[in-house]
Amino acid sequence: MDKKQLFKTLGIEYGVALAPMAGFTDHAMRVVSHMHGSEYSVTEMVSAKAVAFGDKKTFDLARITPDEGPTAVQIFGSEPEVMAYAARKLSEPLDGGAAPVAIDINMGCPVNKVFKNGEGSALMKSPELIERIVAEVRSAIDIPCTVKLRSGVDAERINAVECALAAEAGGADMITVHGRTRAQMYSGNVDKGIIASVKSAVKIPVFANGDITDKHSALEMLRVTQADGIMIGRGAVGNPFLFEEIKAALTNAEYVVPSLSERIECAILQLKLAIEEKGECRAVTEARKQIALYLHSFRGAAAIRARINRATTLTEVENALKTALTEETDA
């Protein structure tokens, strides 16, 4: 599949996408991100083994709805046949939802319980296995197969180029590179140079990921790496408006910074969407960190974030957010 056809399938025009983040990129975050300019999203990672075992919670995690825009399902695992089975199973609509536009293979998760099981970023220890997994998944589905990886396992094993070439040989349609090693986790600086090297080495599209927090870092990432697009992760948590800011910069359009009132309105919408999906207690508990980040840089935010982090109901969160608005109005 050539780039033009691939981007049309994925809904990509400017190359601005929401990266997968376990515990963050649920349905609610994908919806508000799409509302504010994300062209393409990837779900939280789901276990291929859990899919094979028929785990209901895993299928719920992978479910996509039309209101979140073009979305891929991300799977993780290490067994080619199991990965292929899961990809085939998840490439169809689930429970009346929308079909994914792609299956993404996680080769970048750095957490110990995944890495020690030979999954996620541990796959980068074996480019041969990467090629076999991608080939099996590619042959099992009729939609694009994409891959997300890191710069390497650690400073001594910076092998993103080798792994990207293996993924391409297996039939991957696109690669996203997070410019940190597994050992770095989410600390230190992103290595734009390794992303640029991957872009130069492969013929398929490459997206750059890591430390994109505003239009300046986005434009610099694109300039240095020459990537075909950017995937935004933590920078969009509590700030889905970032997608609009970057797209405005890419098109030389005017960007109006959202008011506190607009930020609060979006935060409440995200929480309500999460409640519809998960129920109030679970949704509020899981979303508190994200909702609190909507208040970043506003006066008195620290005290109000503390209230939100203690909240257990929608009403408590709404009251805390309204306090922020009142304090700004009275200032």
**pLDDT tens digits, one per residue of 156-177:** 999 999 999 999 999 999 999 9
| CA neighbor of 34 nearest in space, from 101, 113, 93 | 101
**Residues belonging to the chain:** 331
User: pLDDT band at residue 303, thresholds of 50, 70 and 90?
Assistant: confident
Give me the percent of the chain exceeding a pLDDT of 90. Answer: 90
Q: Look at residue 71 and tell me whether its pLDDT is greater than 60.
A: yes
Contact 4, 173 (CB under 8 A): no
**What is the helix (H) or strand (E) element at residue 15, kind and residue range?**
none
Residues sharing a CB contact under 8 Å with residue 262, sequence separation 6 or more, in sequence order: none
The domains found in the chain, sorted by start residue, are 3-251 (3.20.20.70), 260-330 (1.10.1200.80)
Burial of 279 from C-beta contacts in 10 A (0-12 / 13-18 / 19+):
exposed
* Stated pTM of the model: 0.94
Q: Which two tokens stand for residue 62?
A: 């992978």
Q: Look at residue 330 and tell me whether its pLDDT is greater than 60.
A: no
* Other beta carbons less than 10 A from residue 147's beta carbon: 29
Q: Which two tokens stand for residue 154?
A: 């650690």
**Mean of pLDDT values over 65-70:** 94
Q: Look at residue 285 and tell me whether its pLDDT is greater than 80.
A: yes
Q: Which residues are annotated as catalytic?
A: 109
pLDDT tens digits for 235-267? 999 999 999 999 999 999 999 999 999 999 999
Q: Which two tokens stand for residue 12?
A: 């990509």
The span from the CA of 283 to the CA of 168, in Å, is: 39
Angle between helices 160-170 and 192-201 (to 10 degrees): 30
The span from the CA of 139 to the CA of 220, in Å, is: 37
**Mean of pLDDT values over 296-324:** 88
Whether the CA torsion 210, 216, 222, 223 is positive or negative: it is negative
3-state secondary structure of 1: coil
Q: Look at residue 205 and tell me whether its pLDDT is greater than 70.
A: yes
Q: What is the predicted pLDDT for the residue at 331?
A: 47
Q: What is the predicted pLDDT for the residue at 327?
A: 65
Q: Which two tokens stand for residue 177?
A: 């590179």
Give me the percent of the chain exceeding a pLDDT of 70. Answer: 98
In DSSP notation, 65-104 reads -GGG-SEEEEEE-S-HHHHHHHHHHHTS--TT-PPPSEEE
